[in-house]
Structure 1
Amino acid sequence: TYGRTSAFDLETGADNDNDQLVTLHIWSKAQGEAETRLIMDSIRARLDGAAFSIGSRGQTRLSLEFAEARYDEDLAVHHGLLRFRALTQDAP
C-alpha cells in the first residue's frame, strides 16, 4: 500500500516539491515475519538508490530512510513500513 507522503525543505523546514518522503506499507497474514521481510527486502533492493526521470523536472533519486516490521495484534497481520526520501534535482 502506498502511504503518507510529505514534501519539505530540510534546511528551512518550508514546503518543497524537490524533497519528499514516500511511505510504503506491506501487509502479510503469513505465520512469522519472514514473508514481510522478504517483500521488504525485494522492494528495498529495487528502489534504494534508484534514479528516475519524471517528465521534464529532472532526475529523482530514492534513498531508504526508515524500515520496520512488526506484528499488528489488532489486525492479526505482520506490517512492514519502508520510508524513502525522493530528492528531485531540477534539469538545467
Structure 2
Amino acid sequence: MKLSMQMTITDLIRTLRWRKIALCEEAADASRPIRDEPKSGGERKPEPMTSAGLQLQKALLKLLKSDIALNEWVHRRVYDHVPEQAVFPYITLGTTSTYDWSTFTERGSEHFLTLHIWNRGTGRKTVFEIMGRLDSLAVLPAFKLEGHRLVSFTLEQSQTFSAESHGGYAGIMRYRAMTEEL
C-alpha cells in the first residue's frame, strides 16, 4: 500500500512540474513583443543587431587604450591579435564566453572575459602593477555599451606565472560581466 501511495505522489509531482513548465512557456510566448507588419505592402527593414559581447569588448579596448596610467607601461599595446614583432609589455584579449541570462521579461547575457598580460625583462613586478591598474579601471561607469546596459563587472580570478615560451612573465585576469538589452 505504501508503494502505490508513493507512486501516486511521485506521479502528481511530475504532473505539476510539467504543468508549471507549460505555463512558463506560455508566459514567455505572451511576453514576446509582436512586431508591426510593414505599412503599404513594403518590406520591413531589419533592425540593427548589436552583440553585447562585441559592445563589451569595444568598450574594454577603448578604456584600456585611453588610460594614461596604464599606458605608462603598455603604451597602447592592447591587442586582439598580437603582431609578430610586438614590444613587451602588452595586453591581449583572451577567450570570451557568453551565456544566455534572459528572464521572461528581459533579454540578458552573462560574459566571461579574459585579459592576458605579457612581460619580459622587468619581471613579475611589472605584471602585478599592470594587473593592479587593470583592476582599478574595471568599474561600471567606465563602460558605455550601445544597445545594452552593464549590470555588473567583477574580477573572478587573477594569476601570474613564469611564461617560458615568451622568456618572461605573464598574468591572467578573468572577469564576469552581466548585460541587459535596452
Aligned residue pairs, count: 85
Please identify the structure whose Cα radius of gyration is greater.
2
Residue 114 of structure 2: SS of its match in structure 1?
Answer: strand
1:50 counterpart = 2:133: no
Alpha-carbon separation, structure 2, partners of 1:37 and 1:2: 17
The runs of at least 4 consecutive aligned structure 1 residues that moved more than 4 Å come to: none
What are the equivalent positions in structure 2 for 1:1-92 lying under 5 Å apart? 1-9=92-100, 18-47=109-138, 49-51=139-141, 52-91=143-182
SS of the residue corresponding to residue 165 of structure 2 reads coil
Percent identity of paired positions between Structure 1 and Structure 2: 26
1:13 aligned residue: none
Unaligned runs of 5+ in 2: 1-91, 102-106
In the aligned structure 2, how far is the partner of 1:17 from the partner of 1:68? 29
RMSD of aligned residue pairs (Cα, Å): 2.1
CA-to-partner distance for each residue in 1:36-88, whole Å, 9 max, x for gaps? 000000001111x4243311222343100110010112221101000001111
Structure 1 residue 7: deviation in Å?
Answer: 1.1
With a CA cutoff of 8 Å and minimum separation of 6, indicate the structure with the bigger relative contact order: 1
Whole-angstrom distance in 1 between the partners of 2:96 and 2:178: 13
**Structure having the larger proportion of residues in strand:** 1
In structure 1, stretches of 5+ residues that fail to align are 11-15
Structure 1 residue 17, shift from structure 2 partner: 6.0
The TM-score normalised by the length of structure 1 is 0.78
Per the normalisation by structure 2, the TM-score is 0.42
